[in-house]
Structure 1
Amino acid sequence: MCARNANARQEIQHLILKNQQPLIVRHAEPGDAEQLLAYFEQIANESENIGFGPGEFELSVEEERNYLQQIAATTDSCYLIAEVAGNIAGVLTFSPGKRQRTRHAGEFGITVIQKYWNLGLGNHLLTTFLAWARQTGTLRKINLRVRTDNLAAIHLYQKHGFLQEGIITRDMYLHDTFIDAYLMGLPLDPL
């Protein structure tokens, strides 16, 4: 869920994927906790582009529910869900810096179920998130990290104006191989 104050509220978005399936982008709610945990286990089995593998997302349903309640209480965090036919097909989470000097910036992560890759779902999540971020009145910089070999994701981020700002060598270790990641950022225009 993104912060729900008068300046930053995003309503439910009814959209269409490239394959003509209806897509809903909405705020996560505490009642989504159980389905979200199943979603994260599924993507852990489908994608090596994320920082955790099968069985490593170690939150209980109650912990996830509490986390979702904490996000709802903030004005500058975001947790979006993309639904197709009532099922979670993608998620975008964003957390800003916690201190006064860093709260103007934060990092997001985005995941999509494999069967919805290349259908525009990630683009819809990112577009919705960036519209929200620009309306907060406090956020001035959005950051992310992405594997250097995840060309589809890099293309999506560049399409939205993100620029490569650095590289983290040996960011991940998978199949006996180190994998680097780009740091990318998007400055938001002041209001």
Structure 2
Amino acid sequence: MREKIEIGIREAIPTDAKALLNCLEKTALQTGFMTMGEEGSGLTVEEESRYIAKLYDSPNNCLIVALLDDKIIGMASIHASDKPKINHIGELGIVVDKEYWGFKIGTELLEEVLRWAEDSETINRIELKVQQRNERAIHLYEKYGFELEGVMQRGVRDDGEFLPVCMMSKLI
């Protein structure tokens, strides 16, 4: 068992933009589990800041950050469309700096984003895609009621190898 660390969890704010992009780009290089790689996000700090600011006006999108002191070490998001026929479906994404794996940060982020979704008056279905080889993440999602809906063969390519991706969902 690892030592316990105290983290803070809160909604992202526009001034987090640079730290968020840094965290994303760092974690993208730590494993092959993310769809982003060394190419980075392609976003400027200003673009990310504007995106975060728009989230406050959205009833079906959120971005939560995990902080150790003032450093962003993880994040969770729900992203949904503004189209009326599908605005009830949120896509979940979670990322934690590998240096902090084993501290239950992913669990805390998932719990917080699920609370947000349950309080939302719009979201009633959460979907996610996770590489089949990411057994830790799949176990976490199943523990919180996500169910496997299908497996996309050749759902992602990492280092030239095609890998299967699980499609999971949870009804709220």
Superposition TM-score, scaled by structure 2 size? 0.96
Shift of 1:55: 3.0
Q: How many residues align?
A: 172
Per the alignment, residue 161 of structure 1 pairs with: 145
Shift of 1:29: 0.4
1 CA distance for matches of 2:26 and 2:106?
Answer: 17
Matching of residues 104-119 of structure 1 within 5 Å: 104-119=88-103
2 CA distance for matches of 1:150 and 1:42?
Answer: 18
| Superposed CA offset, 1:109-141 (max 9, x none) | 100000111210000000011011011122111
Identity of aligned residues (%): 30
Structure 1 residue matching 2:56: 3-state secondary structure: helix
Point out where structure 2 has 5 or more consecutive residues left out of the alignment: none
2 CA distance for matches of 1:76 and 1:19?
Answer: 36
Runs of 4+, deviation exceeding 2 Å:
none
Q: Aligned match of 2:128 in 144, 162, 175? A: 144
Per the alignment, residue 181 of structure 1 pairs with: 165
Does residue 91 (structure 1) correspond to residue 72 (structure 2)? The answer is no
2 CA distance for matches of 1:140 and 1:179?
Answer: 29
Does residue 127 (structure 1) correspond to residue 130 (structure 2)? The answer is no
Shift of 1:177: 0.8
Point out where structure 1 has 5 or more consecutive residues left out of the alignment: 1-17
Does residue 26 (structure 1) correspond to residue 13 (structure 2)? The answer is no
Per the alignment, residue 11 of structure 1 pairs with: none
| Superposed CA offset, 1:79-124 (max 9, x none) | 0000012211101111123211111111011000001112100000
Relative to structure 2, which stretch is displaced further, 143-152 or 165-174? 165-174
Q: CA RMSD in A?
A: 1.4
